[in-house]
Structure 1
Amino acid sequence: MFKLTSLNLNGIRSATRKGAEDWMASLRPDCICVQEIKAQAADIEGKFEELAGLRGYFHYAEKKGYSGVGIYTRHEPSDVVAGYGSPEFDAEGRYLELRFDTPARKLSVISAYFPSGASGEARQQAKFRFLAGFHPHLMQTKAEREFILCGDLNIAHQSIDLKNWRSNQKNSGFTPEERAWVSQLLHPTEPSGGLVDVYRRLQPEATDAAYTWWSNRGQAYANNVGWRLDYHLATPALAALAQAEHIYKGEKFSDHAPITVDYAFTL
């Protein structure tokens, strides 16, 4: 069994102070994809290269204290790919791919952090640029190898993926354009689709239990007024091996909940 976790840390230093490493040690995942590490290489060295016995690999943002992704793994990758070829968004540290290739297969685990457009129209337009450029990259990758992408998409796909969907239809993260992008990506027969939302394969009708992020405003967490922003997206062959999922809402070392999926394969 391959246990794979995704978690937006909202800062690796803050999350580890709040117990993230102890939680990782108790969970014992094979890989954990992390997003929004908010750190550079100098911050990681000597402190966070390894957590809970897992070795970390990272893609840093150029801007200090911003974005950044990583993957902690028990297994030695055959290759590490930082960035996906976009000068604009590779500078923001949004993509890390570990390849675990053998003579018999090509397989990747990807940690990705999609931009948020919540701060204003300029960032929403940047988000749309990211989506436009990232889609063909995913299609090219799908044509060449099996993969699981874990990450904070900053998009709730369907009305069952957030509490207050009616009032959020014009807000970043639930706009018609963003939702349509995910729908295209997940279309089962179109050449421009073919990926699988693994959580929804296992839990097609879950609503309140599906949320992975809660605003810090008001009593959003206490009242479970949340959004499902964190995903496992996989090629069909790997998605078919998903056996069980778990969202760890009780862990509070970030404003996101970790999501783990157990897959019936080993590296």
Structure 2
Amino acid sequence: MPAARPIRIASVNVNGVRASYRKGMGDWLAGRDVDILALQEVRASTDDLTGLLGDEWHVVHDAATAKGRAGVAIAARERASIHRVEFGPDDFDTAGRWIEADFAVGDEIVTVVSAYVPTGGVGTPKQDDKYAFLDGLRERLPQLAEHSRYALVMGDLNVGHRTLDIKNWKGNVKNAGFLPEERAYFDDFLGAEGDPDYNAGAGLGWVDVGRRFAGEVPGPYTWWSQRGKAFDTDTGWRIDYHLATPDLAAAATSYTVDRAAAYDERWSDHAPVVVDYAI
């Protein structure tokens, strides 16, 4: 890809790409000038996905082991030089939840990941799976940073790191997605709230691009329950991230959550996160 202009990289949990296209995702994508697109919960075949996106996109896709579940993909205007799906311990099924791809941008290699962390469930095996995945992420992040100084982990990471990331955080401290044990992983990645180097070199040194741009304010949220008036009252969660290496985070020039104008204009329960990087 040329490095003459910022590279626009977007991520979104589509909650089933075929359903999202029926509701208007194609119109959004056609008008957004995205160069690299990370998708989660694709829940479709590769043929379905490429058929919807069109010939102008090069797609790498990892479907879930169970048909109709999960699925992650990366679509780009230029073909990836290589892609990988191996992640975590050998005995843990991460199919449909992690895919990496390397792209040449000017003279640099940019490594991007589309990740879909398990939702979990307190007191269930699903929560054990979530912790196993987060363990794998903690192990993989330093390897990615060593592989490329421009590395980016995107997607539905299913954890609100700080109280700023969930509107009703007091009511969720005992629920999956905001458990202290889950949030501690993000302390490892980014630094803990109150650490003077939080999001600026603490922990493993990665940067939450969304929080860097938004500052110390609630949200901006990226997911709202389909039930009740959560969307209308903006009772949301910020669980969709761009986690970047320091060099890539420093290259970010804009950050936008493409929240739909109205409930009936949504094509997913998540909103796309769109960032421009001047590499």
TM more than 0.5: yes
RMSD of equivalent CA atoms: 2.0
Structure 2 equivalent of residue 135 of structure 1: 138
1:51 Cα offset (Å): 4.0
Q: In structure 2, what is the equivalent of residue 33 of structure 1?
A: 38
Aligned residue for 2:101? Answer: 98
Question: 3-state DSSP class of the match of 2:66?
Answer: coil
* Residue equivalent to 1:206: 217
Distance in 2 between residues matched to 1:115 and 1:103, nearest whole Å: 35
d(CA) in 1 for partners of 2:11 and 2:223? 13
Number of the residue aligned with 2:275: 261
Deviations 1:222-261 (A, max 9, x none): 1111000100000000000111111111151100001101
- Segment of structure 1 superposing worse, 95-104 or 146-155: 95-104
CA–CA separation in structure 1 for the residues paired with 2:170 and 2:145: 34
C-alpha distance in 2, partners of 1:108/1:121? 34
Q: Counterpart of 1:161 in structure 2: which amino acid?
A: D
Which residue in the other structure is 2:249 paired with?
239
Change (3 A) 1:52 1:261: farther
Which secondary structure state, in structure 2, belongs to the residue aligned with residue 132 of structure 1?
Answer: helix
Q: Aligned with 2:73: secondary structure?
A: strand
User: The residue matched to 1:106 in structure 2 has which SS?
Assistant: strand
Q: Deviations over 1:130-187 (max 9, x none)?
A: 1112211111111221301110000001101011111111110000011110111013
Check whether the contact 2:88–2:137 (CA below 8 A) recurs between aligned residues.
no
Amino acid at match of 2:11: S
Residues 89-238 of structure 1: pairs in structure 2 closer than 5 A: 89-101=92-104, 104-118=107-121, 121-145=124-148, 146-187=150-191, 188-189=200-201, 193-208=204-219, 210-238=220-248
Cα deviation digits, residues 15-54 of structure 1 (max 9, x gap):
1111111210100101110000012345446x23x34832
TM-score by length of 2: 0.87
Aligned twin of 1:252? 266
Note the alpha carbon deviations across 1:72-123, whole angstroms, 9 max, x for none: 1012211111232544555431111110247953320111111101486211
Larger CA deviation: 234-243 vs 96-105: 96-105
Structure 1 residues 257 and 119: alpha-carbon distance in aligned structure 2, compared to 1, 3 A threshold:
farther
Letter matched to residue 61 of structure 1: A
> Residues 38 and 19 (structure 1 numbering): CA distance in 2 closer, same or farther, change over 3 Å?
same
Percent of aligned pairs with the same residue? 40
Structure 1 gap ranges (5+): none
**Alpha-carbon distance between aligned partners in 2 of 1:119 and 1:19, rounded to the nearest angstrom:** 35
1:19 aligns with 2:24: yes
CA distance in 2, matches of 1:113, 1:89: 14
Taking structure 1 as the reference length, what is the TM-score of the superposition?
Answer: 0.91
Distance 1:85 1:119, change over 3 A: closer
- Give the whole-Å Cα distance in 2 for the aligned partners of 1:118 and 1:219: 23
Which of 53, 56, 61 matches 2:64?
61
- In the alignment of these two chains, the number of paired residues is 261
Distance 1:189 1:91, change over 3 A: closer
CA distance in 2, matches of 1:260, 1:115: 22
Unaligned residue ranges in structure 2 (runs of 5+): 1-5, 192-199
Instruction: Give the residue type in structure 2 aligned to 1:5.
Output: A
